């Protein structure tokens, strides 16, 4: 390995800083050099977060969407998709099932679906928080500041709103009718409202350059996010990007690893997309900086219709909804499943019950 690269990695492990040029060089590494990057990220993860992997049970409660994102199978113009909406009672039942399984943390995700009013959602969150002892993450896309406030007041702890790409022109092209500027504004609102905030991006979007990925990583550092979902783009046959190639696993792992070097306390999931791309993807992500897994607890028959990209599915069929299955899976790679809500403590102490984590940066 060139001495320069070794020095860069040692400094990044110790100071969590990298210049644009250094990030660019790390993204171009291959073979043994890329492995050294993954090892450095794994070291930072072990040092700051230990061997614990947080499980977040995701419930995808509606696949209706008013948006028309060029990359996504749920886009409005995809007429081939069977649409569904779960009733609040069904969502509550799915959350209870997740809690009964042993999960302490649930994620409610959907397309952008205004059929659920803010009152509906706030009522649902309130009931979940009253009846079940779980942390609640929302991933519902763009909403007004007032809606975000109402949902936070109802008890939501976290909000996952990926910035998708740090290139404003690419963002506007891939997400018609929306802007990166507005998304960044929303991320600031969420932060102000006391949510633990998650952003993140896709790797391998058509029109994306290495330079864009450097900006993605620096943006995550700048925002000092508490979560970052980093996953490959996977083409969906019923979208305008059907013939574009998928993002590469290696590039995804490099972006993930560099993000870990810069953000030692941030929750970084081994995304479902990375597991979809390659059977070894999840394990490799967990050994390149990731410390979170998001098992899909969406009940049948809905789960198969949450077709954001093809090939999503449980790694070992039905078994993979179970907490015990994940305990075994993590033990096999020398890790253990975390018990508790998996909060990060911020300086303002806003998040109430904490598990001894420090601020992400
Ligand atoms: N509607 C909400 C949440 C559902 S989409 C939202 O857009 O925020 C959740 C995530 O799926 C998006 O943030 C995007 O990064 C990812 N996604 C969508 N289409 C994808 C594709 N073709 N390949 C990989 N990830 C995709
Ligand atoms: Fe809708 Fe989200 Fe898919 Fe865009 S990415 S079409 S907002 S579900």
Q: What is the CATH number of the domain that holds 308?
A: 3.20.20.70
Helix axes 210-223, 249-262, angle to 10 degrees: 30
* Residue 240 in domain: yes
Over residues 164-193, the pLDDT tens digits come to 999 999 999 999 999 999 999 999 999 999
Over residues 247-285, the pLDDT tens digits come to 999 999 999 999 999 999 999 999 999 999 999 999 999
Residue with tokens 């490799």: 284
Instruction: Please state, in angstroms and rounded to a whole number, the distance separating the CA atoms of residues 193 and 150.
Output: 10
Q: Is the CB of 202 under 6 A from ligand 1?
A: yes
* Residue 343 in domain: no
* Residue 48 in domain: yes
Residue of 162, 186, 216 to mutate, ligand 1, most atoms within 8 A of C-beta: 162
What percent of the chain has pLDDT above 70? 93
Instruction: Give the containing element (helix H, strand E) for 61.
Output: strand 57-62
Contact 121, 91 (CB under 8 A): no
Instruction: Please state, in angstroms and rounded to a whole number, the distance separating the CA atoms of residues 52 and 62.
Output: 31
Strands 336-337 and 158-160, how do they pair?
A: unpaired
Q: Is the CB of 297 under 6 A from ligand 2?
A: no
Cα angle 310, 34, 316 (rounded to 5 degrees) comes to 35
Q: Is the CB of 72 under 6 A from ligand 1?
A: yes
Torsion angle (degrees, nearest 10) of CA 132, 134, 139, 142: 70
* Residue 344 in domain: no
What is the tally of structural domains in the chain?
A: 1
* Residue 36 in domain: yes
The ligand 1 atom at the shortest distance from the C-alpha of residue 235 is 22
Torsion angle (degrees, nearest 10) of CA 250, 252, 257, 259: 160
Query: Range of 48's domain?
Result: 3-337
Sign of CA dihedral 24, 28, 32, 34: positive
Q: For position 348, what pLDDT does the model report?
A: 43
The ligand 1 atom at the shortest distance from the C-alpha of residue 112 is 1
Residue 158, both tokens: 């976290």
* Residue 59 in domain: yes
Q: Is the CB of 160 under 6 A from ligand 2?
A: no
Q: Is the CB of 67 under 6 A from ligand 2?
A: yes
- pLDDT, mean over the chain: 93
Of 71, 103, 253, 97, residue with least CA distance to 174: 71
Q: For position 359, what pLDDT does the model report?
A: 59
* Residue 358 in domain: no
Mean pLDDT of 303-319: 84
- Rounded to the nearest angstrom, the distance between the alpha carbon of 175 and the centre of ligand 1 is 11
* Residue 170 in domain: yes
Cα angle 113, 115, 118 (rounded to 5 degrees) comes to 90
């Amino acid at each position: 390995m060139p001495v320069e690269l070794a020095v860069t990695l040692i400094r990044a492990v110790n100071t969590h800083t990298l210049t644009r040029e250094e990030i660019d060089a790390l993204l171009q590494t291959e073979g043994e050099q890329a492995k050294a990057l993954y090892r450095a990220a794994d070291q930072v993860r072990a040092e700051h977060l230990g061997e614990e992997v947080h499980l977040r049970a995701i419930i995808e409660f509606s696949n209706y969407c008013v948006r028309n994102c060029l990359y996504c199978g749920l886009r409005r113009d995809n007429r081939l998709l069977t649409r569904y909406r779960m009733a609040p009672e069904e969502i509550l039942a799915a959350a209870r099932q997740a809690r009964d399984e042993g999960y302490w943390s649930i994620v409610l995700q959907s397309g952008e679906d205004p059929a659920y009013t803010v009152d509906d959602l706030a009522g649902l969150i309130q009931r979940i928080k009253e009846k079940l002892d779980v942390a609640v993450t929302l991933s519902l896309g763009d909403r007004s500041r007032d809606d975000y406030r109402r949902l936070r007041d109802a008890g939501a702890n976290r909000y996952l709103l990926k910035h998708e790409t740090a290139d404003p022109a690419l963002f506007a092209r891939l997400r018609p009718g929306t802007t990166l500027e507005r998304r960044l504004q929303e991320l600031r609102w969420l932060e102000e409202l006391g949510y633990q905030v998650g952003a993140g991006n896709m790797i391998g979007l058509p029109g994306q350059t290495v330079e864009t990925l450097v900006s993605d990583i620096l943006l995550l550092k700048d925002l000092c996010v508490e979560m970052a979902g980093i996953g490959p783009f996977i083409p969906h046959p019923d979208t305008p990007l059907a013939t574009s190639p998928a993002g590469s696993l290696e590039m995804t792992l490099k972006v993930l690893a560099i993000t870990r070097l810069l953000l030692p306390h941030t929750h970084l999931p081994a995304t479902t997309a990375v597991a979809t791309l390659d059977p070894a993807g999840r394990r490799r992500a967990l050994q390149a900086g990731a410390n979170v897994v998001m098992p899909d607890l969406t009940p049948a028959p809905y789960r198969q219709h949450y077709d954001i990209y093809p090939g999503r599915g449980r790694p070992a069929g039905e078994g993979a909804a179970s907490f015990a299955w994940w305990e075994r899976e993590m033990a096999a790679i020398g890790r253990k499943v975390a018990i508790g809500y998996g909060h990060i403590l911020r300086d303002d102490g806003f998040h109430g019950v904490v598990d001894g984590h420090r601020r992400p940066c």
